[in-house]
Amino acid sequence: MHARSEKLNSHEISTLLRGEAGTISVWNEKWNTQRLVLHVAVIIVGAGLYGAAMGWWRDPQQALYVAIKFPLIILLTTIGNSLINAMFAPLLGLNIPFRQSFTAIVMSFTIAAAILGAFSPLIAFMIWNAPPISPQTVSGATYNLIKLINVAVIALAGMTGNVRLFQLLARLGGSKAVAFRVLFAWLSGNLFLGSQLSWILRPFIGSPDLPVEFFRTSALHGNFYENVFQSLQQIFND
Amino acid sequence: MNEQNPVPPQIPPVIPSIPSGGTRQLGDDPLERVAIPNIISAIEALLRHPRRMMFQLRQPGAGKLIAAMLFISIACSLIYGVVVGTFSGGQQLWIAPVKIAAGLMISALICLPSLYIFTCLSGSHARLSEIFGLLAGMLMLMTILLIGFAPVAWIFSQSTESLAWMGALHLIFWFIATIFGLRFLEAGFSHSNARSHAGFYTWVVIFLLVAVQMTTALRPILGTADTFFPTEKEFFLAHWGDCLNSHDGESKSKVRD
């Protein structure tokens, strides 16, 4: 079973989705470049398709941009936090090497991207049915509904990926408490970096009043947390 | 010499495992193992022995069976579409069947990836081809049932001028057919070792929303219009609200229903 589990097969992604912790932990123990390439490909295709569906409402060019930006955020977050995540794991009681923590996080993002990819036809259908984006629609119920459904789908994908990651960590560490601590630390770091990357790479849905562009001209002016702080200040000052 | 034991150890008899819920394994009944050779057998199997259909979908070479089911689904939805088109007559006699058949197939195709994902997340070991086959079975059962409703729908379409009434009647028929189709799909799903049905029920809600929205996206199906596709995008609830609020909705000449 050990040898068979190390070979790539056509059920690779469905095994990940089912969360077969036994098989996945065997995959996680040894570095397999082919498997990593497959998982990265799923992230690029799945998140890319979802991004395209999301950006299509504004403009086909925006769809192309978001198709590039969405997987880019996932991959940059994974790479950017790989060192600190690998350090957190042993400090919090899970003694695994760098490659294991890295592949575990890639696997969780692969699951999320596969779910996003599967929902992309539904999002595209919803966008096709929505009235064209305009200042009126942005202030209306349609825009809020589209935003809400996008948040719900991304939340579902993210939560599922993290539930499967938790199951894998519990298997590797032999303790749910350790798995919870490590997952919490990893999630905090990924959310922190991921939010800022999303801020830099905005827009995603796009505003009808602003031109279609890959980056806003103010992309690197300020950061996500400064903006949240300023918004809170405005609320309390008013 | 004394170390050899002349009496072989007794092996306990193997008791076949019974899945949770007490349901029998697919293929336990010899009838379920009988191949489905043609379209008539496929219809009969789906109506009388759905377990036979589910078992055959797991066998190698199920592609032909799936293709046959899709063919029947398209043919039946085209026939039902002609009946729908008789309400307005004229060009709707070919527009309605095309829109109904295309809408049903596109809805299923859009929802197939999420169905597969939810199936996997539920712990099921079903392959994509098996899920596709079960979905094709659901469509086939739905459209066969719609054919059963077709004479009733035709009689009403000849005796009323109200678009709202006919729209509601077709929706009721479609809803009943969909319930039976989903029952077949759920039965197939429960034979795939799924741990939970929560994902399946979530998918059912998604499928219903997509299918209902498709009727609005492809309108008019029942009424008439100058263009094949609607010029205005609307969500189905807003469109239904417009139809119910409109006094013109009482006549065949009303467009975009």
Q: What is the pLDDT along chain B (257 residues), one digit of tens a residue?
A: 344 445 555 555 444 444 444 467 777 777 778 888 888 888 888 888 888 999 998 888 888 999 999 999 999 999 999 999 999 888 889 999 999 999 999 999 999 999 999 999 998 888 899 999 999 999 999 999 999 889 888 888 887 888 888 888 899 999 999 999 999 999 998 888 888 889 999 999 999 999 999 999 988 888 888 888 888 888 888 888 887 777 454 555 444 44
Give me the DSSP letters along B100-130.
HHHHHHHHHHHHHHHHHHHHHHTT----HHH
Token output for A32: 């397999």
| CA–CA separation, B3 and A57 (whole Å) | 81
Select the residue of B113, B123, B232 nearest A121 (Cβ to Cβ): B113
| Upstream peptide bond of B220 is cis (omega within 30 degrees of 0) | yes
Mutate to test the interface with A, among B120, B127, B135, B216 (most CBs of A within 10 A): B120
Calculate the alpha carbon distances from B37 to A195, B183, B227 in Å.
Answer: 57, 24, 43
For B193: left if phi > 0, alpha if psi spans -120 to 50, otherwise beta; the answer is left
pTM, two decimals, is 0.80
| A129/B213 touch (CB, cutoff 8 Å), yes or no | yes
Q: Partners of B224 in the beta sheet?
A: B255
CA-nearest residue to A142 within chain B is B235
User: Is the pLDDT assigned to residue A104 strictly greater than 90?
Assistant: yes
Q: Which residue has 């009043």 as its token pair?
A: A209
Chain B residues inside the 8 Å CB shell of A134:
none
Calculate the alpha carbon distances from B86 to B158, B159, B175, B224, B245 in Å.
Answer: 8, 11, 21, 12, 25
Calculate the alpha carbon distances from A78 to A21, B65, B223 in Å.
Answer: 21, 44, 53
ipTM score for this prediction = 0.75
CA-nearest residue to A13 within chain B is B120
Contact B53, B26 (CB under 8 A): no
Helical H runs in B58-162? Answer: 63-85, 92-121, 128-159
Q: Which residue has 């063919």 as its token pair?
A: B71
| A18/B117 touch (CB, cutoff 8 Å), yes or no | no
Min distance B172 CA to chain A CA atoms (Å): 23
Interface of A with B (CB under 8 A): 11, 13-14, 17-19, 114-115, 117-122, 125-126, 128-132, 142, 145, 160
Q: Using the 8-state DSSP alphabet, how is residue B192 labeled?
A: T
| A118/B206 touch (CB, cutoff 8 Å), yes or no | no
Residues 114-173 of B with CB under 8 A from A: 114, 116-117, 120-121, 123-125, 127
Select the residue of B114, B117, B235 nearest A129 (Cβ to Cβ): B235
- What is the reported pLDDT for B233? 82
CA angle, residues B1, B5, B8, in degrees to nearest 5: 155
The amino acid present at A25, given as its one-letter code, is S
Mutate to test the interface with B, among A122, A127, A144 (most CBs of B within 10 A): A122
| CA–CA separation, A178 and A165 (whole Å) | 13
For B23: left if phi > 0, alpha if psi spans -120 to 50, otherwise beta; the answer is beta
Q: Interhelix angle for A98-129 vs B198-217, to 10°?
A: 30
Residues 222-251 of B with CB under 8 A from A: 232-235
First to last CA, chain A: 64
**Would you mind telling me the total number of residues written for chain B in this entry?**
257
Helix (H, G, I), strand (E, B) or coil at B224: strand
Domain boundaries, chain A: 2-237
